[in-house]
Amino acid sequence: MISMLYQDRALAVCLKLPGALSQDGPGETMPALLRAQLGGDIFPVHRLDREAGGVMVYARTGRAAGALSAAMTGGQFQKKYLCIVRGRPEEPEGVYRDLLLHDRARNRSFVVKRMRGGVKEARLDYRLLAEKDGQSLLLVRLHTGRTHQIRVQFASRGMPLPGDGRYGGGSGALALWSCSLAFPHPVSGKVMTFQALPEGTVWDAFSETLALLESTSGSFPV
């Protein structure tokens, strides 16, 4: 059963299951699971890496899908993530800007030095929340939505995410979670914000920090 955070006739906000595709495709997919659980149409409007989990929104009508997609393109979605990295950033908070090239055949992204065909700019802000046993818990805000962006931007600086075998983080559950999502409702235009703490044993080492973050701030600022 998929955990639902909110639903109405236009949209459904839920917690994506790690391992399920965020869009339609082969194997277990979130749209198919939601159609079975809620009935009716489900339209993906944004993506989350298959191995990651957390807050996502899906449209339930074609009109809502168009409005949400337009809001996404117009920069009206605010996405925040929690991740664990090996090591520690040089600064407790900062901005990473890179040029990323995605190799579709290998499904890998690479940091490159110059603009050329297929290369896109990538930007994120991060804040260090806690350190333990050679790992760091980070709160990340994405300003662009490139494939594997968080994973490759940190891995390229020698800080892969645990469980990210694709970028040097080894085996196991991927330590990446969509913790907060804000966007305008496709019908009313009212800005809606949803958040959720990560689930799974990969986060256990930082459980006290995560609980404190939620209880003291009521949100995930970065």
* Residues involved in catalysis: 49
Number of H helices, E strands in the chain: 4, 11
Nearest CA to 141 out of 131, 160, 155, 127 is that of: 127
Any residues with CB less than 8 A from the CB of 188 and at least 6 apart, and which? none
Tracing tokens 């297929």 back to the chain, one arrives at: 118
Helix, strand, coil tally for the chain in percent (to 5): 20, 35, 40
Of 178, 123, 192, give the one whose Cα is nearest residue 153: 123
- The string over 1-12, giving b where at least 16 C-beta atoms fall within 10 Å of a residue's C-beta and e elsewhere, is ebeebeeeebbb
